[in-house]
Every structure is written in structure tokens, then in C-alpha cells.
Structure 1
Amino acid sequence: MAGRYTLADVLATRKSRDSWWTVYLVDPLACPVALVVANHTRWTPNGLTAGSLVLGMASAVCFGLDQLVAGAALFYVSFLLDCVDGKIARLKGTGTPFGLWLDYVGDRIRVVCCATGLAYGQFTLTHDVIYVVLGAVVAVLDLFRYVNAPQMKRVRGAILGPPVPGRPASPPEGPRFMPGLNGFLARHRVRAHLISGIEFHAAVFVVAPLTGVLLPIAAVASVLLLANEVFIVYRMWLFTRRVPAVPQESRQHALIGG
């Protein structure tokens, strides 16, 4: 029924902690869009995810044709729809396991295609192989980040086994800022970290094309993301050294995915 949801309902679907790019530059627009979609359309979360992927492919084509501003704009709208689909799923309770898979895989396809389009467009224009290398680096870093995260979760489960009082719940995630700043960020729903995958995508596919400063911005973002991932792995390694061992059967159970 039209008008049954309010903006407050949509705001309640936001994640408790999110990327600063999402909190400040996407959610202020995504929430009103989600309200209109929820009250005045029959679009499903999976349909929105598919639309986001189509726009992502259009962004990649624009990058390949050296239409950088159009490519950046389409990438932003594609990501905005990707945020809206999750809000609609939580608002209406219509999320599905297949939808989670589609959202995850769609994101990876969008990034790989946009990295390829950006590299192809700039190589065609300049004949400088550095753009091909950069496109490959961006794609590999993104894939590594999203393969590494679930594997680290499985390792954490193998280490900890069943919950035990007094045992740390999880290893630290990434570089943290000073406590006062952490508290400020938490109050504003912003995750405290060096850089996230979302901010990496925003830097490479939105900020860099819009400013025309492709190589420096993409290179710095890539170095920061790699540093963040290395730091997370290092913290996990430290965590594994100080957490008491769990029975071997618990480790096997967690690693198998049970």
C-alpha cells in the first residue's frame, strides 16, 4: 500500500557502522530513494541488484570510451542502487540467500569490468602500459579483499570454536585511530579504519575519473588498501598466538564450514 513506510522506517534499516563514503555521500540520497521505491514501486531487492549491475556495465563502457565523467556518474548511481536494494530487503523482510549471492557476485563483476574499461580506455588513448598494470592491480586487490574476509572469518571460527566466557570474541579488524576519534566516528555510524573496499572503489571509479588525476589517486588508494589488508592479516596472526587452543575436532568443524 502506497505511503505505508516512513523515512524513519528506512533510516532504521541503515547499518549500525558503515563506510564514511556511504554514511556521508550515499545514504543521504539512498534513503529517500529507498522510501520512494518501497512505497510506489514493486521493485524487488534482486531487481535493484540487477539494475545496479547493468549501470555498472554501462559505467565500464563509458570508461572504455574515455567518457570519464559519465563513467564516474554511472558508477556512483550503480553503487547507490546497490545500497537501496539492501535497505528494501531489510525494510520489507524480502532478503533471500540468493539475493546475498547476487549482490556479492554482482559487486565483483562490476569492479572487474570497470577496472578493465578504465585500463582499456586510457591505454587506447595514451598507449601507456601502466594503465593496464593499474587496472590489473585494482581488480586483483578487490578480489583479494573479498576472498580474504570470509577466509579470515573461517579461521577465527577454527581458532575459537564454541563461545567460551572470557575468550576474545574476535581478532581486531584493522588500523584504529585514537580513542576519542573512534568514539566520535561510532556516534556517527562510521567505521574506524584506514580504507575500506567501498572507499577504494569510490577513489578509483568516482574521484579519480572526475578529477582527471587517475594514476596518482588510484595508486595511492591501492597502496592504502593493500596496507590495510596486510595489517589485518598481521593482527589476526598476533591474535592466533595469544588465544588458547581449541579441540582439533572444533577446528575441523569450523574449517569445513559446519
Structure 2
Amino acid sequence: MLGSMRTYSLDDVHETRKRRDSWWTVYFVDPVACRVALPIANRTRLTPNGLTVLSLVLGAVSAACFATNQLVAGACVFYLSFMIDCVDGKIARLKGTGTPFGLWLDYVGDRVRVVLCAGGLAYGQYALTGEVVYVVLGAAVAVLDLFRYVNAPQMKRVREIIREERQEDEPDPLGPDPLETDHQPVRRSGFSRFFRRLNRFLARHRVRSHLVSGIEFHAAVFVIAPLAGAWALIPLAAASGALLLANEVFLVYRLWIFTCRHGAGSAQESREHVLV
């Protein structure tokens, strides 16, 4: 019976937000997602997996809108799809109903949505203009997104292997910059002091220090650019893609620095672990 379900408050939902998230999510999605999650948690029996499937269906609808050159409708539905995708995580954390399969479904659903929408956007604009550049654009968006989500777990795996071998608790190469810690006396440049203050400011507002992530990339390509008009698709996709790629290169560079600091004592063993 629904009447026997626990009643949650908006504060309860707010507690399920990530400690730090993308600025797009913090400012443009969470305020809506939290209010949508509240009645879903209190008045329905919708599961996180059910919401993930709904998000994927909406993503397919968005792709169809893009394919028929309904850019504004596609952007609005994509935003709704992403917002529902945020709601499923909040419901899972709120009720403790998350599952490993749900994690997989959410991960794969995100990738499928991006591929469908990139393909729909490319097809719609190519059919309208005959310009091959839109086909290249769709392929580039899909490849860059897939690279970002393949790269992240591999970097995490390398980091974990090194820590297991060294049995040391070292700073996370994907977290705060080593210059931001107080574990060792270092002379900070004006830039590093500025970055440290900026990072603290962002942390107070739950915003990650990596300001251009996959989420901002998706927002630029599938929400902001379509709302602005077809003229904005190529420049915004190119600019946001370049910033995302620069962020990924920066993360790989920090991972390289992290591995160099630990030497090459078990290089062969690490290589075998990573490649298996």
C-alpha cells in the first residue's frame, strides 16, 4: 500500500545530491530533478531502473526530433531525458534500491542516448542541407563521448594497480591538484594560489574543479546549440569538444605524473594487469 510508504522531505532528497558535480547539473538540472524526485519517491513505486529506461526512451524521442529537424523539441526532450536520468540516481540513494545491474544500465543507457542523438542530429542536418560536415560532426561527437567514458575507468584501474603495489595512500590524480594539499611545504605560484582559492569556492557550491566534462559537452551539443539554432551546431560542438578533449589530455597528463612519481619497479606486472 502506498499509504505505508515512508514520506520523504525535500531536504532528504537534497542529501542524495553528489558532494561535487558538474556545474550544468548543479545549477540547471538538480533544482528541477530534486523537486521531481520528491513526488516520485512519496507517491509512486517507480524504481531507479524503470526511470533509467524512461530516460532512454526519451533520449530516443529526442533523437527522432533531431532527425526530423525539430531542433527545439529535440533539445527540450534531451534535457528532460537527462533530468530523469539524474532522478533515478537520487531515488536509488534515497531508498537504498540501487543495484549493480542498475549501475550498468545507467552507464550503457547514457552511451546509447548520446549515439542516438548524435546520429539523429547528423542525419537531420545532412538531409536538410546535404553538407557532409554534419555527418562528420555526429561521428566526432559519438567518438569523443565514447573515448571519455572508456578512458575514465582505465585511468582509475591504473591508479588502483599502482596503489595496490605500493600500498600507499597517495593523492587522487583525478582529484585536487597535488599543489592544493598541505602534506608538504611547497612554494605556490600566483596561479596555483588562485587555483586553490577557486577550487575551494567551487567546492562550497558543489561544483567540480574540472569545469568542462562530458555533461557540459552533452549540454552544449544537444541542448544549448539546438535551442540557439542550426547555425550554432558546428561552432558550439567544436568548441565544447575541444575543451572536453583538453580536459581529458590534462587528466591523462596528471595520471602520467602520478605514475612517474612511483617509478617503474613493477612496470611489467602493471602492464599485464592493465591489458588483461
Q: Could you say whether these structures have the same fold, taking a TM-score greater than 0.5 normalized by the shorter chain as the test? A: yes
| 1:126 equivalent in structure 2 | 129
- State the Cα deviation string for residues 53-83 of structure 1 (Å, max 9, x = none): 0000000000000000000000000000000
Task: Give the 5 Å matches for 1:154-173.
Answer: 154-161=157-164, 164-165=167-168, 167-172=169-174
More displaced, 173-182 or 54-63? 173-182
Deviation at 1:34, TM superposition (A): 0.5
SS in 1 for 2:128: helix
SS in 2 for 1:227: helix
Change (3 A) 1:250 1:10: farther
Once residues 94 and 131 of structure 1 are traced to their aligned partners in structure 2, the CA distance between those partners, rounded to angstroms, is 41
Query: Are the equivalent residues in 1 in contact too, given 2:23–2:211 (CA < 8 A)?
Result: no
Which one has the largest radius of gyration? 2
Residues matched between the structures, number: 256
Q: 2:29 aligns with which of 26, 29, 45?
A: 26
Deviation at 1:193, TM superposition (A): 1.1
Task: Give the 5 Å matches for 1:23-102.
Answer: 23-102=26-105
Query: Are the equivalent residues in 2 in contact too, given 1:23–1:190 (CA < 8 A)?
Result: yes
Query: Are the equivalent residues in 2 in contact too, given 1:115–1:136 (CA < 8 A)?
Result: yes
Deviation at 1:4, TM superposition (A): 1.1
**Structure 2 counterpart of 1:204, which letter?**
V
**Structure 2 counterpart of 1:189, which letter?**
R
| 2:202 equivalent in structure 1 | 185
Once residues 14 and 117 of structure 2 are traced to their aligned partners in structure 1, the CA distance between those partners, rounded to angstroms, is 30
Once residues 128 and 211 of structure 2 are traced to their aligned partners in structure 1, the CA distance between those partners, rounded to angstroms, is 33
SS in 1 for 2:212: coil
| 1:137 equivalent in structure 2 | 140
| 1:200 equivalent in structure 2 | 217
Structure 1 outlier segments of 4+, above 3 Å: 162-165, 172-177, 244-257
Alignment TM-score, normalising by the size of structure 1:
0.93
| 1:226 equivalent in structure 2 | 245
Once residues 15 and 180 of structure 1 are traced to their aligned partners in structure 2, the CA distance between those partners, rounded to angstroms, is 21
Change (3 A) 1:9 1:246: farther
| 1:215 equivalent in structure 2 | 234
Query: Are the equivalent residues in 1 in contact too, given 2:22–2:211 (CA < 8 A)?
Result: no
2:148 pairs with 1:148? no
SS in 2 for 1:26: helix
Q: 1:242 aligns with which of 228, 249, 261?
A: 261
More displaced, 169-178 or 84-93? 169-178
More displaced, 220-229 or 171-180? 171-180
Once residues 143 and 168 of structure 1 are traced to their aligned partners in structure 2, the CA distance between those partners, rounded to angstroms, is 28
* Structure 2 residue ranges without an equivalent (≥5): 178-191
2:106 pairs with 1:103? yes
Once residues 208 and 117 of structure 2 are traced to their aligned partners in structure 1, the CA distance between those partners, rounded to angstroms, is 26
**Structure 1 counterpart of 2:12, which letter?**
D
| 1:12 equivalent in structure 2 | 15
- State the Cα deviation string for residues 223-244 of structure 1 (Å, max 9, x = none): 1111111111112112111124
Deviation at 1:159, TM superposition (A): 1.7
SS in 2 for 1:192: coil
- State the Cα deviation string for residues 7-41 of structure 1 (Å, max 9, x = none): 11100000000000000000001001101100001
Once residues 271 and 118 of structure 2 are traced to their aligned partners in structure 1, the CA distance between those partners, rounded to angstroms, is 38
Change (3 A) 1:140 1:253: closer
Deviation at 1:254, TM superposition (A): 5.5
Percent of residue pairs identical: 66
Change (3 A) 1:89 1:249: farther
